[in-house]
Structure 1
Amino acid sequence: MFKKSKKLIRAERIKDSLEIFSCPICSQQMKVMHLQSLVCINQHCFDIAKQGYINLSSRSTNSKYDKQIFEMRRIISQSGLFNPLQAAVSDIIVSHLQDNEPIRILDAGCGEGSHLNRIQTKINQKKRNPILAVGIDISKEGISLAAAEYSKAMWCVADIANIPLANQQFNFIINILSPANYSEFQRLLTNHGLLIKVIPEQHYLAELRDILYKGTDKQVYSNTPTIRYFNERFNLIAVENIQYQVSLSEHLIPPLLEMTPLSWGASQESREQILRMDLRKITMDFKILVGMIPSQN
């Protein structure tokens, strides 16, 4: 019996949702050619990778986020450290659904895809609304891992400053611990769509911060500028604070340290101190901002 490849299955899904795509070079509509590529009317062509993702980035980029960091993030996410946060985001989406309204979710800055996959799973457990989920990230390494691991969403390498998706295609955009582009989010959201942005709170990974940055101005974190900028671009309709402590197995300490940018500017001595510690618990502390596009009236 013929078994379809991952690439073919994803290409057929892309073909069924062509209206959401827009050429990153000329912004024209796109079509699938021979279940191999996305091509616009101006013949700009973007191949579908064998893993099933599409590279729609119009420029090459350098990033500190390499394959190892994304693999560490996947280990941490699959261990359950983010489960309460992901459940809270899915509950916000479910609470704003209308009957059998189709759900279109964009995860902007999706990394290796574990947040979107878990949120999509949680929604499916509560609602039977049809879901179209898309994850984008500038990192090819992250998107490649997402496409290889999670089959329920479409995955695209894309620049958040020039998102290759058509106007007003999503009723939910999630932006979790990632940079934002509010102009693009406004363009992509439907009139009554929601932006759900997750930012770290003061005590996020406090046990690591206290060691890595003890005695420096980085020991205390403030998200006040981020909240202020969000309020300038979106109407803030809800705020939810999520704080909990997680028991930490010894084998999770190295990947936790590797996955977070907190450790990038820290000294080797402080990193080694953490690895020697008997760190049993870690604090997870987030603020969820829920916004709508400001009225034009």
Structure 2
Amino acid sequence: MPILNNLSCPIDLAPLHRNERSLICPHGHTYDLAKSGYVNLLPVQNKRSKDPGDSKEMVAARQAFLNQQHYFPIVETILSSWPEDNLRGDLRILDAGCGEGYYLNEIGRLFTAQGIVTDRVGLDISKWAVTAASKRDKDVSWLVASNARLPMPNERFDAVLCLFGFPVFAEFSRVLSESGVLLLVESGEDHLIELRKILYPAIHEYKPTFASELADFGLISESSKRFFITLDSQEKIQQLLSMTPHMHKASYEGRELLKQHDSLTLTADIKFRWYQKKH
């Protein structure tokens, strides 16, 4: 499956064509491929900061944590819950907010073992995340880009995955085929509850997101997965903390309390919601 094909210019949405180490649109906008093979399709005028998204340090921590396969049950649940009507011999998949590429890499590997060919595109606003992802899996089109303005044509994908990300439903609907599906993966009420009880003096009441029906999508299925993670060193605990919002939300005192723990067993509580694009 050729990579970096069927993409659009982020400035004018004109089709991009490959010319050796560059992607070029008919109006002359040019995007050079990085050494590791990804392309940056996030124009300066669309950035909200100089270096948006996760930092280099956060990406390194997430990569170290995920490579230990603590979250592999999430991958298994994605595949086991995948709507049967959407499964076919070849699948076009967008991971919208792909991070350092763990999930899209694992999904591709498992689908290949089932004889399913995948055309996979991974997109993230963090150049550090996409740089790491592009070194992990060379069979994926990795893009620095934004969900707010997806750089690809209408009906480009059979499935859009948004795992712990920031969904933009109108754009997801636009790039999904008529029979396309959307997966939202989010934290449940008890996710990392043991960690949160150390970091915070009180736990806020859980409020589910997207509880009401979405304008462009109908709910197909909803499920939860609970499992346990044991981290046996302070280094691993800090890796997990660094890849969560709690790194910035928790107080100094809370983070210092966490440093007193050499091991933790944590609850993972994950929600999976599959949606069908409405016609």
Partner of 1:24 in structure 2? Answer: 10
Q: 1:122 to 1:165 in 2, by over 3 A?
A: same
- Look up the equivalent residue of 1:175 and give its one-letter code: C
Structure 1, gaps ≥5 residues long: 1-11
Partner of 2:132 in structure 1? Answer: 145
Contact 2:157 2:177 in 1 (8 A): yes
The alignment partner of 1:231 has SS state of coil
Q: Distance in 1 between matches of 2:155 and 2:120?
A: 15
Q: Distance in 2 between matches of 1:89 and 1:111?
A: 17
Residue-by-residue CA offset, 1:179-200 (whole Å, 9 max, x unaligned): 1000000001111111011011
Partner of 1:45 in structure 2? Answer: 30
Q: 1:191 to 1:109 in 2, by over 3 A?
A: same
Asked if 1:245 is matched to 2:228, the reply is: yes
Shift of 1:226: 2.9
Shift of 1:153: 1.1
Matches within 5 A, 1:1-297: 13-14=2-3, 18=5, 20-33=6-19, 35-59=20-44, 60-62=47-49, 63=52, 65-93=54-82, 95-100=84-89, 102-125=90-113, 127-215=114-202, 219-228=203-212, 231-250=214-233, 251-295=235-279
Contact 1:108 1:135 in 2 (8 A): yes
More helix by share: 1
Q: Distance in 1 between matches of 2:166 and 2:198?
A: 25
Shift of 1:260: 0.7
Partner of 1:8 in structure 2? Answer: none
Structure 2, gaps ≥5 residues long: none
The alignment partner of 2:149 has SS state of coil
- Look up the equivalent residue of 1:21 and give its one-letter code: L
TM-score by length of 2: 0.92
Q: Distance in 2 between matches of 1:121 and 1:223?
A: 34
- Look up the equivalent residue of 1:80 and give its one-letter code: Q
- Look up the equivalent residue of 1:28 and give its one-letter code: A
TM-score by length of 1: 0.87
The aligned length equals: 274
